[in-house]
Structure 1
Amino acid sequence: MPAVFQVSPYSFIFFSSDRGEPAHIHVTRDRQLTKFWINPLFLDKNRGFKEHKLS
């Protein structure tokens, strides 16, 4: 998982196996993971982040 950007403690990553999907980015912290579509920007998946942390 190459990290595109790091803002401690968050890592912005992509998975090479996500080929064929529209542009998106995964954000991780500890064991929490989210997936955001880029255009238009919206949350696709959330595993572990509390709602107030996503806004």
Structure 2
Amino acid sequence: MSEQISYNVEQAAAAVGVKPRTIYEAMRDCQLAYLEIGRRKLIFPEALKEWLVTYGQPKR
């Protein structure tokens, strides 16, 4: 099975376990890189992984 090359907002949210609203906010705040094609917003796995690393400090 091949790795998915991009996610839409709902897929990205499901992949990392957050609400789509969190993804939209990260994109709006320029914290998460994405590609906009027409009205579609595509997020690459590398950008999603990078955002996860910088999203916040782990809770102890």
Identify whether the pair has TM-score above 0.5, normalized to the shorter chain: no
Instruction: Name which structure has the greater RCO, CA cutoff 8 Å, separation 6+.
Output: 2
Higher share in helix:
2
Higher fraction of strand: 1
User: Normalising by the residue count of structure 2, what TM-score does the alignment of the two structures yield?
Assistant: 0.24
